[in-house]
A and B are shown apart, each in its own frame.
Chain A
């Protein structure tokens, strides 16, 4: 800050420090240059060309189509029908799943935020389904929910809840997908538990003295104190769900029945080998959507309460 006021020899020492500092962060700087900036730039240029997936070459970029890869989402029915379906599916899932996971994960954490015998075991049990890799989870659920020889239908049939089509009908696919994601609640719960531990105990004690019931305490103390975590969950939830890929791929492979589970990234993957330029354009659209949503969430985050020590 006040370098100019320092004698020259001190500035020389700073110079050394400068190099050392840059050496420390060199891996990530190189990493971002090589594995983020270069591919992003390459994808951006490619998104104006019509080409199939092939090795990078300086001379051959394919046919220049200008903004064609972007505008065909609106003009050509073959692409626009799938594009809008993918957007619809992804948005529907994000709008339902993010708040649902937020609220249920929070309630679960409130339930388990107590010190009783065996609480650690209970928490671990709730977390267990998160340890099943997404691919396994997809395979597992496609077996469980198979309408013909799946276990779930036979169990539900025994208690008279009829025969469901699950992922074998367009109508029930999304609901089924949201249902199987409920088993991942444990992951969010662990984050919530960490946050709940940070709420000062004194707040509850004084509220109790003032005669506030437990529901009132929950809404007047716990929820406001947890707002930073709510913001974090919102951001990560939105960014994550917009990129949903592996679970769906392992579950239904393509877009599901009548493209009812055609998630956006799944659509990009479907296009990448034959229309590389188009898939680059699609991924840039996803990037813009993510950026806009994140900015909107951040800008409207006045409701977040940061305690002094935070």
Chain B
């Protein structure tokens, strides 16, 4: 916590004390201007959120009147109970299952691979790593559609397997790259010292390197959860509309998407329900999110 506060903060706070009065009023004006600009921009950025919440509490009669608040003052919380129903409970559980599996599995797998690329010496390591990195350039649609045919052969269509099994094989090139950058920061001397003490490669990884990179693990876990929670192209490709395993993103699309004529208040309530887990995780992981980003900062 303390480390994240830049050292310049106390200097900045102390500065105005000695300034002449004209200077003080200038900084005050500047500060007020900043807050005004920030407030205006915040209003802009919060607009979609605001509309989503407002509309989700409108009743069916009010929602067609182009208003944000009910003219008669009714607050309809029924949307939140009506829309979910049994189907939405199921969608929610499917999404949650996939996202949790990925959020736990991807950090573990990608850190193991990254550890191999950063701290183990073997022939063909750098070539393999550049192949891994080059998959970043491959548009996902190139593999997504042919994989349908392959999964269909394996009878994986309309199951949840296509959504989480592939991501446990490596966990994504970007995550491996990120973790590798982190592992490279751990001095080799320490690793070889552990080796001399008799620790094997996997033991060094598990007991020594992994605990050091908890912030990055959390960051990757968070990203994996959110990414899979929001994943739409995958379920859209591998799941039929009436499948037992429809996820929240796909369910929302089928029930309230462009092809449906459901009331928007119900759609917004379902959307709000889908947004809540991401929101909670963001509030909880905000610190690690920022930290993880600063680690990503393109080095190497």
> Which residues on A are within 8 Å of B, measured CB to CB?
14, 17-25, 27-32, 34-36, 38-40, 42-43, 46, 53-57, 108, 111-112, 114-116, 120, 122, 124-129, 131-144, 149-151, 153-154, 183, 185-186, 190-191, 193-195, 197-198, 201, 228-229, 231-232, 239, 242-243, 245-246, 249-254, 265, 268-269, 272, 276, 279-280, 283-284, 286-287, 290-291, 294, 310
Whether A126 lies near B41 (C-beta < 8 A) is yes
Taking a contact as CB atoms closer than 8 A, the residue among B131, B149, B278 that contacts A53 in the complex is B149
CA distance A298 to B67 in the complex (A): 49
CA distance A277 to B267 in the complex (A): 36
Within 8 A of A (CB), among B155-170: 166, 168-170
CA distance A67 to B82 in the complex (A): 52
B196 lies within 8 A of chain A by Cβ: no
Task: Return chain A residues, CB-CB under 8 Å to B146.
Answer: 39-40, 42-43, 46, 280
Q: Which residue of B lies closest to A51 (CB)?
A: B149
CA distance A229 to B145 in the complex (A): 32
Q: Scan B92-123; emit 1 where CB is below 8 A from any A CB, else 0.
A: 00000000000000000110110111001111
Whether B145 lies near A276 (C-beta < 8 A) is yes
Task: Return chain B residues, CB-CB under 8 Å to A183.
Answer: 44-45, 47-48
Most B Cβ at <10 Å: residue of A27, A38, A55: A27
CA distance A190 to B297 in the complex (A): 12
Known: A197-B6, A283-B142. 17 other contacts (CB 8 A): A18-B122, A32-B131, A35-B169, A114-B34, A115-B9, A133-B274, A135-B274, A139-B252, A139-B257, A140-B271, A143-B264, A151-B67, A194-B297, A242-B139, A246-B249, A268-B141, A280-B146
Q: Scan B246-265; emit 1 where CB is below 8 A from any A CB, else 0.
A: 00010011001111000010
Whether A243 lies near B141 (C-beta < 8 A) is yes
Given contacts A21-B121, A133-B275, A245-B233, contact A250 B143 (CB under 8 A): no
Given contacts A133-B230, A133-B249, A139-B256, contact A56 B132 (CB under 8 A): no
Whole-angstrom distance from the CB of A153 to the nearest CB of chain B? Answer: 7
Task: Return chain A residues, CB-CB under 8 Å to B113.
Answer: 24-25, 27-28
Whether B259 lies near A294 (C-beta < 8 A) is no
Whether A20 lies near B120 (C-beta < 8 A) is yes
Within 8 A of A (CB), among B118-137: 120-123, 125, 128, 131-132, 135-137
Q: Which residue of A lies closest to B170 (CB)?
A: A28
Whether B297 lies near A198 (C-beta < 8 A) is yes
Task: Return chain A residues, CB-CB under 8 Å to B66.
Answer: 149-151, 153-154
Whether B267 lies near A143 (C-beta < 8 A) is yes
Given contacts A43-B146, A245-B233, A279-B145, contact A31 B170 (CB under 8 A): yes
A-B CB proximity, top 6 nearest? A31-B169, A24-B116, A28-B170, A253-B258, A21-B122, A21-B120
Q: Which residue of B lies closest to A114 (CB)?
A: B34
Question: Interface on chain B toward A: helix, strand, loop, or mixed SS?
Answer: helix
Whole-angstrom distance from the CB of B70 to the nearest CB of chain A? Answer: 13
Given contacts A28-B176, A132-B271, A140-B51, contact A36 B143 (CB under 8 A): yes
* 16 A–B contacts, CB within 8 A, in A order: A14-B121, A19-B122, A27-B169, A32-B169, A35-B143, A38-B150, A39-B146, A129-B49, A135-B253, A153-B66, A191-B296, A242-B139, A245-B141, A245-B232, A246-B249, A283-B145
B55 lies within 8 A of chain A by Cβ: yes
B138 lies within 8 A of chain A by Cβ: yes
Whether A190 lies near B274 (C-beta < 8 A) is no
CA distance A302 to B36 in the complex (A): 39
Whether A243 lies near B169 (C-beta < 8 A) is no
CA distance A251 to B112 in the complex (A): 39
Taking a contact as CB atoms closer than 8 A, the residue among B8, B115, B122, B139 that contacts A287 in the complex is B139
Taking a contact as CB atoms closer than 8 A, the residue among A151, A154, A283 that contacts B139 in the complex is A283
Whether B145 lies near A40 (C-beta < 8 A) is no
Whether B298 lies near A132 (C-beta < 8 A) is no
CA distance A43 to B39 in the complex (A): 50
Q: Which residue of A lies closest to B259 (CB)?
A: A253
CA distance A142 to B55 in the complex (A): 13
Whether A34 lies near B274 (C-beta < 8 A) is no
Given contacts A133-B249, A286-B142, contact A42 B149 (CB under 8 A): yes
Given contacts A136-B275, A143-B55, contact A128 B116 (CB under 8 A): no
Given contacts A54-B152, A56-B153, A190-B293, contact A17 B201 (CB under 8 A): yes
